[in-house]
Amino acid sequence: MGNRKRIQVGILGSTGMVGQQLIQELTGHPWFELTWLGASERSAGRQYTDVTNWRLPTSLSSSLGNLIVQSSEPTSAPHLMFSGVDASAAGQIESAFANAGHMIVSNARNHRMEECVPLLIPEVNPDHLGLLGQQRKRKGWAGGVVTNPNCSTVVLAMALAPLRGFGIRSVIVTTLQAISGAGYPGVASYDIVGNVIPVVPGEEDKMEQETQKILGRFIEDRVELHPMTVSAHTTRVPVIDGHTVTVSVKFEKAPTLDELREAFEGFTGAPQEQELPSAPKSPIVYLNAEDRPQPRLDAQRGRGMTVSIGRLRECNVLDIRFVALGHNTVRGAAGAAVLNAELLYSQGLLS
Amino acid sequence: MGNRKRIQVGILGSTGMVGQQLIQELTGHPWFELTWLGASERSAGRQYTDVTNWRLPTSLSSSLGNLIVQSSEPTSAPHLMFSGVDASAAGQIESAFANAGHMIVSNARNHRMEECVPLLIPEVNPDHLGLLGQQRKRKGWAGGVVTNPNCSTVVLAMALAPLRGFGIRSVIVTTLQAISGAGYPGVASYDIVGNVIPVVPGEEDKMEQETQKILGRFIEDRVELHPMTVSAHTTRVPVIDGHTVTVSVKFEKAPTLDELREAFEGFTGAPQEQELPSAPKSPIVYLNAEDRPQPRLDAQRGRGMTVSIGRLRECNVLDIRFVALGHNTVRGAAGAAVLNAELLYSQGLLS
Amino acid sequence: MGNRKRIQVGILGSTGMVGQQLIQELTGHPWFELTWLGASERSAGRQYTDVTNWRLPTSLSSSLGNLIVQSSEPTSAPHLMFSGVDASAAGQIESAFANAGHMIVSNARNHRMEECVPLLIPEVNPDHLGLLGQQRKRKGWAGGVVTNPNCSTVVLAMALAPLRGFGIRSVIVTTLQAISGAGYPGVASYDIVGNVIPVVPGEEDKMEQETQKILGRFIEDRVELHPMTVSAHTTRVPVIDGHTVTVSVKFEKAPTLDELREAFEGFTGAPQEQELPSAPKSPIVYLNAEDRPQPRLDAQRGRGMTVSIGRLRECNVLDIRFVALGHNTVRGAAGAAVLNAELLYSQGLLS
Amino acid sequence: MGNRKRIQVGILGSTGMVGQQLIQELTGHPWFELTWLGASERSAGRQYTDVTNWRLPTSLSSSLGNLIVQSSEPTSAPHLMFSGVDASAAGQIESAFANAGHMIVSNARNHRMEECVPLLIPEVNPDHLGLLGQQRKRKGWAGGVVTNPNCSTVVLAMALAPLRGFGIRSVIVTTLQAISGAGYPGVASYDIVGNVIPVVPGEEDKMEQETQKILGRFIEDRVELHPMTVSAHTTRVPVIDGHTVTVSVKFEKAPTLDELREAFEGFTGAPQEQELPSAPKSPIVYLNAEDRPQPRLDAQRGRGMTVSIGRLRECNVLDIRFVALGHNTVRGAAGAAVLNAELLYSQGLLS
């Protein structure tokens, strides 16, 4: 991609936590140049640095900080738009932009489960991009919408993807989710310091449904849900970054632990083959130490894009069990969106 | 019990965390008077306050602090002995005391799974005390040993006990365990602040096996394991007190959620009927709020002796799922032992 | 007070954190019966349990939960009113109630520094209640307002009070404040888990000014500020309850460490003499262990009403230094207000 | 340094926390090649990966993991040795190596305050290396020992260094120290989760004495202590990395806040001039936001080598006050040692 001109991109919902993380992921990106920041009308017309409460350890560059924030109107925006808009507004805004011809790479939940919208993990279901044709037809959009999964779903779906070939039938999963997944200000410190909250509202449904779609087969012009059942318990724990999940799985025909482990270790996909800029060398690593993965030690693997697996062993009730961990704001949000955009670009779907 | 003279009791392993918690639970006890504190030979002969690193918020009374610590020899000790000895030494010491005629109420794991040793939760299996006759016969002990479950097991076992009548067949459980369960110094702060450790070594086996025994039926002179399978994932989280567990259960014939909830809410047992001093009014409470139970808000219920349940709902894979929470150092250790001793006493088994 | 009828009291701002803590402190109070709960107009007319997000470990009684919330109008309210109203509204509401004849015991900062308003710590400056006469005259109020200090100030002021006799000249203090002091939702967990925030906005001024007034002498009809200078650094740390402060003090003539320690240990006041219901046996305890006081172990002393001191030693720059700790929502807010009301009552100032 | 051959270095005490951090800092170093790992006799002769409990998020390279650990004997070791040995053993081992001709760059406290040993911060007192001649003479060592300050001291000393010209007379400092500063396992989680420990044993003396030496002038062959007095309060807080300090300072003649701020912002030193590999672009940054610096957001600045300052304002008691923050295991330990070695090398003192 050496001498090519970088293509301009924008961010819808740029002042929230996901917006800030998108800025962080796009800073210094070799293909994409961030030139447009959108926010609510209240913020429009002012410098980004004046309307955002920057919460990330990395510094905001002055060139981005000085950018004048735009209201969420398609007019002036680049073709490729990332969306970190809250679910309360994302449906409408993203549709308007897609209708006006933009390609939206969205982190919001609104369009994820629509039949004609790809719910994309580039290593897992790149063929789901085939839905875009159907999407244009049904929606009448000049552009399109591609989504990434919920931050808990992505950890589970990536951990299950290498095992699809063995015929996954049912999955019971418990999440231990980091607080950065709740946005800002998100969870009150009084509720979570030294504590566990035994529910993350709305996330159990997402994990149960999104996973079926992500692992589903693309046939002709639609995705056939993966024929399995997922049951999720969600919890919030006082961790900054990194969602940990404990998983039990039943297969059509149980493979050996060795076969499963080889499946984890050998897993790779389109981003690795095409050497996409945000692709980790290994989308999945298997850790041998009994007490791993841990969020503080392992969430940053592959610059936050690698999912770590450990403690693979037999399950007394289903077939096998293990622990998986992923970085919820990178692989589970901003990094996921950027990798999705890179896949779109490398497949010539951005023109 | 008004005018009766309090009976003297002692603690083996009094300087460790469980020992300190036993002292705390026994301070001001209406039936038991703590007069004997044991520890390793290194500490014997010195005042308790000089050999212990007292870590609890409650103060140590000066009368106990001034007590001269004894070595772990049966000679001078009271008949009723609580044991907070580490597993590395508990087997031998407890056997020696039982052999010498003492009744040992132990928190250690060593004797729990022996066929002739009651693994007791007074609300759940008081009839298991019937094993003591067999125990004397087989072991040739003049005294006896009664044990309480592991601190994670007890939360699960109490939550399952009201559901026994429905024919529990399989259980998948994930624990989020507090750090006080690991003793002192226990888990290094560098490992757990802002982090999750995805294993508590040795505890999965305990939960899987102990629960079968606790819920088992006492027939003639032995306990028939409950015919169910348990699969446990254990984790450690940065919480001080209170183990949270997420549970999925499959029944022989699935009851309705209403039936299950009534079973939780109506659950009571021998300690409540006999109004034992440490018995909570309700061994189990069901909380309606979607975000409960939480360790910081709910672990102290019933002075730490009540297990809180919440989020009962259907499971997509097994039949139902819910969250349970109990205080790991009270209901899961010292309080459990004291309640066991109270049951022994009220059943005339201390003479 | 045995047979006397309990007097009815109300709470302004009853749904916030301070309001909830006031309810907790007043539950089962031997003198005061809580019969009136006020909140904003939005909540008025509905049951308390429906408009509050109860955040405390203790349960709310059903009789209080069922109480119909009143708007903040003086009409129907009892004579004695506690105020947990936010500073944004407290000034106006409290004045209106005082004007209408109510005695307001306020936790808000609004009236604290007014010359004719007592800023009261019953053990430290009970004579400041003498300001109430002047207050009525100047304000034209039929009732009155009495305030308690900011939650950080009270720890410092109580620690300094026993040392007044030695001629305090200057004080440098650094606070490590708990998150419960910030109300609810208060500090975002993303900002404080595993972190320190090096400022608590507005609190440094309060500590520097309020302390001078609290330690001041009441002369005729006014309080003469204590002739000393305070310099405060404030920080927020991930602790639930308990503000820790490090303090260096310079005296007119430096006393010995023994003299200071005796002053701490011998300190007592009107609440102890009059055995007010909320008075701790010792308003101050001195702890000998080198690593105390600690919030988790010591904040609850005296049911949260005792300030713990430790580590008294010479200061290389000023004269002496030490550490103090107090419970910020009990001695620093709700408990302080209730003790203030008890003093008012015992001195016959509630009629 | 492009084509130069890297010089071989070793680590004494390589299995502890400081040893691990030294390995991390030296991995990929452009000048130094780590080829020798030492530990106690118990570990000697085995592969590093088998005798260490690696606790850092970064991975250990297999080439280092496979290295055979040496006992702490000078024989086979490279000339330049880093020491992460515990204070209990460091004095003797470091002396033995220095005697045998090695140059020791030590993080241990043992030799820090010896008159002829440089207590070095390359930006602050590079001229103190002039002590090495005197050291050889007095000690009779063929090699030498250079030390870096205690992890709290270095934050204070770097913050004060730019202000030396204004005549610092007295300093009162309170630390809020991270748990990684206590080694491994270090502080028990039970003691620090949701808590503050109001002392870090031994560190107050270090801060009070080391700072005087670091800021002292090198005259002929000795260091004249800076004529100021420091009084330190130390505390431990539940933060992983980053020591925060609140500081009040009195000057001979108080400068304006603008002058002080310019001094902070303009501060630079030998490592920046000589572009040493570990030198941060700015050894000190001043942050304008009222709520900064914060450990989680700012400790990593300059790859952990930059000290962040904020909240500069007048002090009511001394002259000025501010907050400073530095990374305790990088600028406060391993990074400090590596920068010291780089200065030694660039000044030709390694041959």
Residue D61, CA distances (Å) to A251, B223, D45, D53, D54 in order: 37, 53, 19, 14, 11
Residues on chain C touching B296 (C-beta within 8 angstroms) = 57, 240
Most B CBs within 10 A among A246, A247, A321, A325, hence the mutation to make, goes to: A246
Closest approach of chain D CAs to the CA of B185, in angstroms? 5
On the question of pLDDT at D28 being above 80, the answer is: yes
Identify the band that residue B4 occupies on the pLDDT scale cut at 50, 70 and 90: low
The count of CB pairs under 8 A between chains A and B is 136
Q: Please tell me if residue B193 touches chain D, with a CB cutoff of 8 Å.
A: yes
On the question of pLDDT at C1 being above 70, the answer is: no
Q: How far apart are CA C324 and CA C336, in angstroms?
A: 17
Most A CBs within 10 A among D237, D297, D308, D325, hence the mutation to make, goes to: D297
Beta-strand ranges (E) seen in chain A are 7-12, 32-39, 70-71, 80-83, 103-106, 144-147, 168-176, 217-219, 222-224, 229-233, 243-251, 284-287, 307-314, 320-326
- Going by C-beta distance under 8 Å and a sequence separation of 6 or more, which residues neighbour residue B203? B150, B152, B175, B177, B232, B234
Q: How far apart are CA A171 and CA C34, in angstroms?
A: 51
Looking at residue B1, its pLDDT comes to: 45
On the question of pLDDT at A3 being above 60, the answer is: no
Annotated catalytic sites of B, by residue? 151, 243
Identify the band that residue C75 occupies on the pLDDT scale cut at 50, 70 and 90: confident
D234 → chain C, closest CA residue: C246
Looking at residue D220, its pLDDT comes to: 87
Indicate the CATH number for domain B7-150+334-346: 3.40.50.720
pLDDT (tens digit, 9 = 90+) per residue, A276-315? 999 999 999 999 999 999 999 999 999 999 999 999 999 9
Q: Copy the structure tokens of residue A120.
A: 């994309």
Q: Copy the structure tokens of residue D301.
A: 């600045």
Beta bridge partners of residue A229, listed in sequence order: A170
Identify the band that residue C4 occupies on the pLDDT scale cut at 50, 70 and 90: low
Q: Please tell me if residue B220 touches chain A, with a CB cutoff of 8 Å.
A: no
On the question of pLDDT at D4 being above 70, the answer is: no
Closest approach of chain D CAs to the CA of B23, in angstroms? 18
pLDDT (tens digit, 9 = 90+) per residue, B254-298? 999 999 999 999 999 999 999 999 999 999 999 999 999 999 999
Q: Please tell me if residue C186 touches chain A, with a CB cutoff of 8 Å.
A: yes
D57 → closest Cβ in A56, A240, A300: A300
pLDDT (tens digit, 9 = 90+) per residue, A98-120? 999 999 999 999 999 999 999 99
Identify the band that residue B75 occupies on the pLDDT scale cut at 50, 70 and 90: confident
DSSP assignment of C271-331 equals HHHTT-TT--S-SEEEE-STT---HHHHTTGGGGTPEEEEEEEE-SSSSEEEEEEE-TTII
On the question of pLDDT at C45 being above 70, the answer is: yes
Q: Please tell me if residue B169 touches chain A, with a CB cutoff of 8 Å.
A: no
Identify the band that residue A8 occupies on the pLDDT scale cut at 50, 70 and 90: very high
A190 → closest Cβ in C186, C190, C191: C186
B190 → closest Cβ in D180, D190, D194: D180
Whether C151 sits among the annotated catalytic residues: the reply is yes
D310 → chain C, closest CA residue: C198
- The mean pLDDT of C312-331, rounded to a whole number, is 98
Residues on chain C touching D239 (C-beta within 8 angstroms) = 194-196
Closest approach of chain A CAs to the CA of C242, in angstroms? 13
Indicate the CATH number for domain D7-149+334-346: 3.40.50.720
Write down how long chain A is: 351
pLDDT (tens digit, 9 = 90+) per residue, A117-156? 999 999 999 999 999 999 999 999 999 999 999 999 999 9
H or E segment at A272?
Answer: helix A270-273
Q: Please tell me if residue B194 touches chain C, with a CB cutoff of 8 Å.
A: yes
User: What is the CATH superfamily name and number for domain D151-327?
Assistant: Dihydrodipicolinate Reductase; domain 2 (3.30.360.10)
C194 → closest Cβ in B57, B194, B297: B194
On the question of pLDDT at C90 being above 70, the answer is: yes
Structural contact between residues D11 and D60, judged by C-beta atoms closer than 8 angstroms: no
Residues on chain A touching D297 (C-beta within 8 angstroms) = 55-57
Average pLDDT over chain A, rounded to whole?
Answer: 96
The count of CB pairs under 8 A between chains A and C is 64
On the question of pLDDT at C351 being above 90, the answer is: no
pLDDT (tens digit, 9 = 90+) per residue, A216-227? 999 989 999 999
Q: Copy the structure tokens of residue B154.
A: 């007890």
pLDDT-above-90 percentage for chain B: 95
On the question of pLDDT at C339 being above 90, the answer is: yes
pLDDT-above-70 percentage for chain A: 99
- Torsion angle, alpha carbons of D214, D215, D220, D222, to 10: -40
CB contact under 8 A, A179 and C189: yes
Q: Does domain C151-328 have CATH number 3.30.830.10?
A: no
User: Which of B262, B254, B245 is closest to B299 using CA atoms?
Assistant: B245
Relative to beta strand C307-314, strand C320-326 is antiparallel
Distance from the Cα of residue A264 to its chain's centroid: 20
DSSP assignment of A135-191 equals HHHHH--SSEEEE---HHHHHHHHHHGGGGGG-EEEEEEEEEB-GGGG-SS-SBHHH
Query: Which subunits sit against A, judged by 3+ Cβ pairs under 8 A?
Result: B, C, D
Query: Which subunits sit against B, judged by 3+ Cβ pairs under 8 A?
Result: A, C, D
- The mean pLDDT of C243-250, rounded to a whole number, is 98
- ipTM comes to 0.96
- B-contacting residues of C 279-298, CB under 8 Å? 296-298
First-to-final CA distance of chain C: 16
Q: Please tell me if residue C60 touches chain A, with a CB cutoff of 8 Å.
A: no
Q: How far apart are CA C247 and CA C17, in angstroms?
A: 28
C239 → chain A, closest CA residue: A193
Identify the band that residue C62 occupies on the pLDDT scale cut at 50, 70 and 90: very high
Identify the band that residue A1 occupies on the pLDDT scale cut at 50, 70 and 90: very low
Three-state DSSP state, C121? coil
The count of CB pairs under 8 A between chains A and D is 17
pLDDT (tens digit, 9 = 90+) per residue, A54-83? 999 888 999 999 999 999 888 889 999 999
Q: Copy the structure tokens of residue B199.
A: 């294993």
Q: Copy the structure tokens of residue A126.
A: 């790149």
Identify the band that residue A4 occupies on the pLDDT scale cut at 50, 70 and 90: low
Q: Please tell me if residue A235 touches chain D, with a CB cutoff of 8 Å.
A: no
| Domain segments of chain C as ranges | 7-150+334-346, 151-328
CB contact under 8 A, B193 and D189: yes
pLDDT-above-90 percentage for chain C: 95
pLDDT (tens digit, 9 = 90+) per residue, D155-188? 999 999 999 999 999 999 999 999 999 999 999 9
Structural contact between residues C36 and C105, judged by C-beta atoms closer than 8 angstroms: no
Q: Please tell me if residue C219 touches chain D, with a CB cutoff of 8 Å.
A: no
- The mean pLDDT of D197-214, rounded to a whole number, is 97
Residues on chain A touching D56 (C-beta within 8 angstroms) = 297
Residues on chain D touching A296 (C-beta within 8 angstroms) = 57, 240
D183 → chain B, closest CA residue: B190
- pTM for this model (two decimals): 0.96
Residues on chain B touching D188 (C-beta within 8 angstroms) = 184-189
pLDDT (tens digit, 9 = 90+) per residue, C98-140? 999 999 999 999 999 999 999 999 999 999 999 999 999 999 9
On the question of pLDDT at C349 being above 70, the answer is: yes
- The mean pLDDT of B137-141, rounded to a whole number, is 97
On the question of pLDDT at D268 being above 50, the answer is: yes
CB contact under 8 A, A297 and D194: no
